[in-house]
Amino acid sequence: MPPDSAEKALNQSRWLSIVGIGEDGVKGLGENARNAISSASVVFGGKRHLELAAPLITGGSRAWPTPFDAAMRDVVALRGQKVCVLASGDPFLFGVGATLSRHVAAEEFTTYPAPSAFSLAASRLGWPLQEVETVSLHGRPLDLIRPLLHPGRRVIALTSDEKGPVELAELLAANGFGSSRLTVLEALGGEAERVRSAQANRFSLPAINALNVVAVEVAAGDDARILPRAFGLDDALFDHDGQITKREIRALTLSALAPRRGELLWDIGAGSGSIGIEWMLADPSLKAVAIEADAERAARIRRNAVSFGVPGLRIVEGEAPAALVGLPAPDAIFIGGGGSDPGVFDAAVDALRPGGRLVANAVTLEMEALLLAAQARLGGELIRIEVSRAGPIGSMQGWKPAMPVTQWRWRKPGEPQ
């Protein structure tokens, strides 16, 4: 097939157009984006988007259903027809483009992005975007901003509605960041655009537009809850009943688990949830499942996950190995409490993906015996960890040893999937 014919065939196969549109409506669109809208037999979008593009729509217009259909059934059902989907700004930055791409191949659509809300906000403030933390809190927990709150950092957060800036200011003030400066940028790019600032602990901006972005210049007080970007966070940051992998052991354990982007961890016998929480803090792409039999501890894990800004930590309340049935296969497993219970260890070994890592800690003789047997049968590495802390002995100071920990580290044979 001649090159020009191949290109024509490819263009014809692209039945779907995804157009990013801003608050300036059709005035801000390029010629190709305008043509994509006007030539479509059906245009999908939110009510606001359809109103903005109304002067160009010649076919049918269909607003997204409520609740939103993440499977995009109405769009996919029109495969082969000329269809256009409208999105806010850049469709592939926390936008509908990401959802569509899960159901429509890239060869089937053409995208015409507009500047994202993050880009517009950075340009109004004069902030180099590559030096700014960005987070979408639109339809997502505000707690996701917690790991980003470091003194002197700049954060741009996309909110859900007019309540978002107030709730964000309250979260900051309650966690020792009350002196942070918040700039609310409303209806960016449109006639109603407005930019206003206030301090978090004195926030009282009235009549905020539902379409807004909040820029935060983080300032921390002496009591600020700052989450260091390292393994082995202070035990005092966690709510726990003593059932916690202590910070020094935790740092070595997470180093052995060696998280890689996009991986899933099982934390069996999670206690306070500290291992799964720090695993997820290592990168936003990481996921974890905390398995805990005790209901009170499971509730504590849930509270800790929120306070550390990883509300996506999945908590399974139940006893292993029964509680492991049906869970997605993990890339890494940590066995802490309950590892010596019948069937737990073998179930974990069987469930682990090829190439995955398993780390188990023992403080009891029974669990240590199990790890010694596992190392003799499967190989891997055994290490002994002993930590002592200085403490008072009468009127002087001396070393007080903690219980030693035997740790087994093992990589399952095979290539990672």
CB 302 within 8 A of CB 315: yes
Q: Are residues 240 and 369 in the same domain?
A: yes
The number of angstroms, rounded, from the C-alpha of 395 to the middle of its chain's C-alpha atoms is 49
| Domain encompassing residue 177 | 118-217
- Looking at residue 406, the DSSP 8-state letter turns out to be E
* CATH number of the domain bearing residue 49: 3.40.1010.10
Which residues sit opposite 221 in a β-bridge?
Answer: none
The total number of structural domains in the chain stands at: 3
Has residue 50 got a pLDDT over 70? yes
User: CA 243, 249, 255, 256 torsion: positive or negative?
Assistant: negative
Are residues 405 and 292 both part of a single domain? yes
The distance in angstroms from the start CA to the end CA of the chain is 37
pLDDT at 3: 47
Is 289 found in the same domain as 387? yes
**Domain endpoint, select from 86, 114, 142:** 114
Question: Tell me, what's the pLDDT at 19?
Answer: 97
If asked whether residues 127 and 103 sit together in one domain, one would say no
In a domain, 129, yes or no: yes
The residue type found at 409 is: R
Query: Looking at the structure, do residues 97 and 132 belong to the same domain, yes or no?
Result: no
95 and 161 housed in the same domain:
no
pLDDT for residue 340: 79
Greater confidence (339 vs 186) lies with: 186
CATH code, domain with 184: 3.30.950.10
Residue 364 lies in a domain: yes
**Same domain, residue pair 72 and 149:** no
373 located within any domain: yes
pLDDT digits (tens, 9 = 90+) for 75-134: 999 999 999 999 999 999 988 999 999 999 999 999 999 999 999 999 999 999 999 999
pLDDT at position 280 over 50: yes
Helix (H) or strand (E) holding 169: helix 164-174
Residue 229 domain flag: no
pLDDT at residue 182 in the model:
98
Q: Are 337 and 269 in contact (CB under 8 A)?
A: yes
Quick check: 10 pLDDT over 50?
Answer: no
- Domain assignment present for residue 300? The answer is yes
Shared-domain flag, residues 336 and 404:
yes
- Residues constituting the chain: 417
Pairing of strands 212-217, 181-186: antiparallel
The angle subtended at Cα 408 by Cα 405 and Cα 409, nearest 5°, is: 130
Residue 318: in which H helix or E strand, if any?
none
Look at residue 126 and tell me if it is in a domain. Answer: yes
**Is there a single domain that holds both residue 71 and residue 144?**
no
Of 217, 246, 263, which residue sits at a domain end? 217
Q: Are residues 250 and 212 in the same domain?
A: no
Residue 280: both structure tokens together: 């997820």
Give the pair of three-digit tokens for residue 311.
């509300």
Q: Given this model, what pLDDT does residue 11 score? A: 55
- Of 217, 250, 280, which residue is a domain's last? 217
Q: Which two tokens stand for residue 62?
A: 């269909």
Tell me, yes or no, whether 304 and 363 share the same domain: yes
Residue 280: alpha-carbon gap to chain centroid: 8
Q: Do 247 and 367 sit in the same domain of this protein?
A: yes
Q: pLDDT tens digits, residue range 384-408?
A: 999 999 999 989 999 999 899 999 9
Read off the CATH number of the domain in which 398 is found. 3.40.50.150
User: For residue 222, is it within any domain?
Assistant: no
pLDDT of residue 211: 95
Q: How far apart are CA 58 and CA 4, in angstroms?
A: 29
How far apart CA 225 and CA 172 sit, in angstroms, is 10
